[in-house]
Amino acid sequence: MANTPTPIGGKYENKDIVSLDQFSSKDINILFKKVGLMKRIANKAKKSEILKGNIVALIFYEPSTRTFSSFSAAIKRLGGETIDLRDLERVSSVAKGESLKDTVRTLEAYCDALVIRHPEKGTAELTSEYIEIPVINAGDGTGEHPTQALLDLYTINEQRGALGGLTGLMVGDMLNGRTVHSLIRGLSKFKNNTVYLLSPKELRLSVSDREDFQKRGIRLIEIFSENEIPRNAHFWYWTRVQKERFKNLNTYNRVKNRFILNPDLIDKYAGKKTIFMHPLPRVLEIAEEVDKDPRAMYFRHQLKNGMYVRMALLGLVLGRLK
């Protein structure tokens, strides 16, 4: 069984990043203070040398567009290099039956850190026990997606000016959604936050997760109808119903488009400063007309913030930012 991940404790260098449970509010603020420098580096469109000489392996067992590209761009913006491994079960020695343990031990010989996405919950933490170099969780099944949560927290803080005293709405797959699991963990680090959870009954947050999160001090309120959406919330966080998590496609088809973010819903319940977020990819759960709304963050801010936050995180973990 995997051990409890090591807390950041104000010192990122050589730490594995596998869960938001490792972070305190102070740790999050330390990271965010480095993001401004990363923005300036990226906006100059000139390669930095902060990660010059570093090689990072990107090992993805699941499909990814944004997370893979964001990590790759973050490393290269800072002058580092990558070993890119995607679709491992088809194109690598995994197809020959090689174990995860042997794969990551092989990569450890060639690089300074490893970023992993895997369909099984807990795999990133397990990987961190196999190797000595830092491991960063890029999504582990229905578990967590810590770097997505960090960029989401950064976006909320950037737009709302605080991470405490917030009222938020999360919509979609609460049961399987690793992005919501990590974001709730992140919001629980700050005081007086309330989150409304809107999902089909089949995709409710598990009782154990709900009890665990609420022990951390965050207030969670389950709702099952758009009519229960609180007016003027600080943020709405929409997620897709994840087809790949369903064994029964009939169940998926029954719940996939239950809640759709559209202009009518916005006019009825959103405030003038409510921001609309989504970890992407979307399928049909956000109407394209919403993209033009200046409160829509998913293309306008979250994507770039993801690169900036990952730049800062990599610089800290590899000991190149102080």
Catalytic residues: 66-67, 96, 117, 145
What is the Cα–Cα distance from 171 to 236, expressed in whole angstroms? Answer: 8
Partner residues linked to 197 by β-bridges: 170, 222
Determine phi and psi for 217, rounding to 5 degrees.
105, -5
Determine phi and psi for 109, rounding to 5 degrees.
-70, -20
What is the Cα–Cα distance from 210 to 105, expressed in whole angstroms? Answer: 36
Kindly give the residue spans of alpha helices, DSSP state H, lying in 226-302. 249-255, 263-269
What is the DSSP code (8-state) at residue 278?
A: -
My answer on whether omega of the bond before 294 falls inside 30° of 0, hence cis, is no
How does 149-169 read in b/e, with b if 16+ C-beta sit within 10 Å?
bbbbbbbbbebbeebeebbbb
Question: Which residues, other chains included, contact 8 with Cβ-Cβ below 8 Å and sequence gap of 6+?
Answer: 15, 22, 23, 24, 27
DSSP string of 147-172, one letter each residue: HHHHHHHHHHHHHHS-SSS-EEEEES
Neighbours of 194 (CB within 10 A): 17
Whose structure tokens read 């959103």? 270
Instruction: Please give the span between the terminal C-alpha atoms of the chain, in angstroms, as a whole number.
Output: 33
Determine phi and psi for 288, rounding to 5 degrees.
-65, -25
